[in-house]
């Protein structure tokens, strides 16, 4: 064998293998720390990275001299529980802050005894027509006060009805969408997709409301607490604003001063 042949560093084998015990213990200690780190990372994968890093640094950077204490064994489950509780509390707080409290709305009053106009006209009573709603067959007057939309069939008017429902909701009123002949399935579907407001689909199978008002496109009727129609507008567009008309309909009349 040439003298210049490369040789690895010599391996010294001790006479007593017990001399290697420190190296064996160090190897096993490193393996335990590595396994502990992997367990912590798997258990806290749902937490933010900086939290996981803190937990790994706290519980997987060194091995206790003695056996693990009760606190050391319970620290990881407690930390996970506190993290879940904190996240749930944060979500609940956001939901509560972003949810407006329901305000009491106007209530129905007795039907007007001496309206200013005939039934079916502005200033007159809403016709006492039976309609079919998701809650059953009711008189359309029983839904007062409300914003009523007489819609054609088929009705490509989702944006119009959504705008009306949102404006009615500002006064805690319902939007009653009446199909003139047979229930329109589109109204049922729209009622569940509204981002704001309440829409009640109503089926006027007799066509009595359509006959009384002769609607043109989507016709909106503002119905006050005493069942009188205070405002009417035809060919409603999504940009229409009815806040003033709705405010006038649901506000009580001013008290007359004595004198």
Interval 142-153: pLDDT, tens? 999 999 999 987
* Residue 156 resides in a domain: yes
pLDDT of residue 138: 94
pLDDT in tens, 167-195: 999 999 999 999 876 555 667 667 777 77
Q: Where residue 190 sits, what CATH number does that domain have? A: 3.40.30.10
Q: 56 falls in which pLDDT band (50, 70, 90)?
A: low
Examine the fold and report which residue of 78, 98, 118 is the final residue of a domain before the chain moves on. Answer: 98
* Residue 198 resides in a domain: yes
C-alpha to C-alpha distances, 245 to 142, 153, 232, 236, nearest whole angstrom: 20, 26, 9, 14
List the domain range (segments joined by +) for residue 27: 17-98
What is the C-alpha separation between 197 and 131, in angstroms, rounded?
21
* Residue 105 resides in a domain: no
The pTM for the full model equals 0.58
Examine the fold and report which residue of 98, 122, 142 is the final residue of a domain before the chain moves on. Answer: 98
* Residue 32 resides in a domain: yes
Q: Where are the beta strands (DSSP E) in the chain?
A: 130-133, 136-139, 146-150, 174-179, 199-203, 219-223, 229-233
Residues 134, 70, single domain; the answer is no
Residues 146, 213, single domain; the answer is yes
pLDDT of residue 147: 96
| The total number of structural domains that make up the chain | 2
Cross-strand partners of 135: none
Residues 94, 179, single domain; the answer is no
Helices within 44-69 (DSSP H only): 49-59
Residues 88, 154, single domain; the answer is no
Answer whether residue 46 shows pLDDT above 80.
Answer: no
Does residue 232 have a cis bond before it (omega within 30 degrees)?
no
Residues 71, 161, single domain; the answer is no
What is the C-alpha separation between 111 and 102, in angstroms, rounded?
26
* Residue 181 resides in a domain: yes
* Residue 10 resides in a domain: no
* Residue 116 resides in a domain: no
Residues 136, 244, single domain; the answer is yes
Burial class (CB in 10 A: 0-12, 13-18, 19+), 19: exposed
Residues 138, 237, single domain; the answer is yes
* Residue 223 resides in a domain: yes
């Amino acid at each position: 064998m040439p003298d210049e042949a490369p040789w690895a560093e010599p391996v010294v084998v001790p006479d007593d293998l017990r001399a290697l015990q420190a190296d064996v213990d160090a190897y096993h200690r490193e393996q335990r720390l590595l396994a502990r780190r992997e367990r912590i990372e798997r258990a806290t994968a749902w937490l933010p990275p900086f939290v996981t890093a803190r937990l790994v640094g706290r519980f997987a950077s060194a091995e206790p001299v003695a056996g693990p204490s009760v606190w050391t064994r319970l620290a990881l489950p407690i930390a996970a529980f506190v993290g879940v509780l904190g996240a749930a509390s944060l979500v609940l707080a956001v939901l509560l802050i972003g949810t407006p409290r329901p305000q009491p709305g106007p209530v129905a009053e007795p039907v007007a005894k001496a309206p200013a106009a005939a039934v079916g006209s502005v200033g007159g009573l809403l016709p006492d027509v039976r309609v079919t709603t998701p809650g059953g067959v009711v008189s359309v007057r029983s839904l007062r006060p409300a914003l009523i939309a007489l819609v054609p069939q088929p009705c490509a008017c989702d944006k119009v009805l959504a705008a009306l429902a949102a404006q009615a909701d500002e006064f805690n009123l319902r939007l009653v969408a009446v199909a003139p002949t047979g229930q329109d399935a589109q109204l049922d579907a729209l009622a569940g997709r509204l981002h704001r407001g309440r829409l009640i689909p109503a089926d006027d199978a007799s066509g009595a409301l359509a006959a009384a008002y002769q609607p043109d496109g989507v016709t909106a009727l503002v119905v006050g607490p005493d069942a009188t129609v205070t405002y009417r507008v035809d060919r409603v567009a999504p940009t229409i604003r009815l806040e003033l008309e709705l405010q006038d309909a649901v506000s009580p009349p001013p008290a007359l001063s004595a004198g």
